[in-house]
């Protein structure tokens, strides 16, 4: 916990702490758990996909947002952009080993949320009913 400087955090993993305001891990966590980042990592877990295949899988994402998301994940070393020098060029996206490890943890969380949605919906109904907004 506490303050971390750019110099100090580069020295060892122990120094990284997402609860600290300026820790770089907070930004990477944001890319991983962001609305489109999480779905993109999840979609690439089992497949190498082309841009338009990804766009269909991540229902609702715009071309611009998917492009920004992929750039951030590529920069973090989670996704590789594979461009084969064919004509026309064939571009595919796949996870790195780090990306796959991250996606595994993320999918465990996503699976839990999906499995427990009946509980969540019941809680929402009770909350709204208690406040007369349901």
Residues binding a second copy (CB under 8 A):
9-10, 12-13, 16-21, 24-25, 28-30, 32-35, 38-39, 42-43, 57-60, 74-78, 98, 101-102, 105-106, 108-110, 112-124, 126-128
Contact 40, 69 (CB under 8 A): yes
CA-CA distance, 103 to 44, in Å (whole number)? 8
Query: Shortest Cβ distance from residue 130 to a second copy (Å)?
Result: 10
Query: Shortest Cβ distance from residue 90 to a second copy (Å)?
Result: 21
CA-CA distance, 118 to 127, in Å (whole number)? 14
Q: What is the dihedral of CA 86, 89, 93, 94, to 10 degrees?
A: 0
13 versus 83: smaller Cβ distance to a second copy: 13
Structure tokens belonging to residue 31: 């890319």
83 versus 113: smaller Cβ distance to a second copy: 113
Query: Shortest Cβ distance from residue 52 to a second copy (Å)?
Result: 16
Query: Shortest Cβ distance from residue 5 to a second copy (Å)?
Result: 14
88 versus 113: smaller Cβ distance to a second copy: 113
91 versus 121: smaller Cβ distance to a second copy: 121
- For every residue of 13-55, DSSP letters joined together read GGG--TTSTT-HHHHHHHHHHSHHHHHHHHHHSS--B-HHHHH
């Amino acid at each position: 916990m506490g303050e971390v400087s750019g110099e100090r955090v580069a020295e060892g993993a122990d120094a990284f702490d997402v609860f600290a305001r300026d820790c770089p891990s907070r930004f990477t966590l944001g890319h991983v758990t962001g609305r489109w980042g999480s779905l993109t990592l999840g979609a690439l877990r089992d497949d190498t996909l082309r841009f338009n295949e990804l766009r269909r899988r991540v229902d609702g994402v715009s071309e611009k947002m998917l492009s920004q998301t992929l750039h951030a994940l590529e920069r973090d070393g989670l996704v590789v952009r594979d461009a084969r020098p064919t004509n026309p060029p064939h571009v595919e996206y796949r996870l790195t080993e780090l990306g796959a490890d991250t996606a595994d943890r993320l999918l465990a969380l996503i699976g839990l949320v999906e499995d427990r949605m009946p509980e969540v919906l019941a809680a929402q109904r009770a909350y709204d009913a208690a406040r007369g907004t349901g």
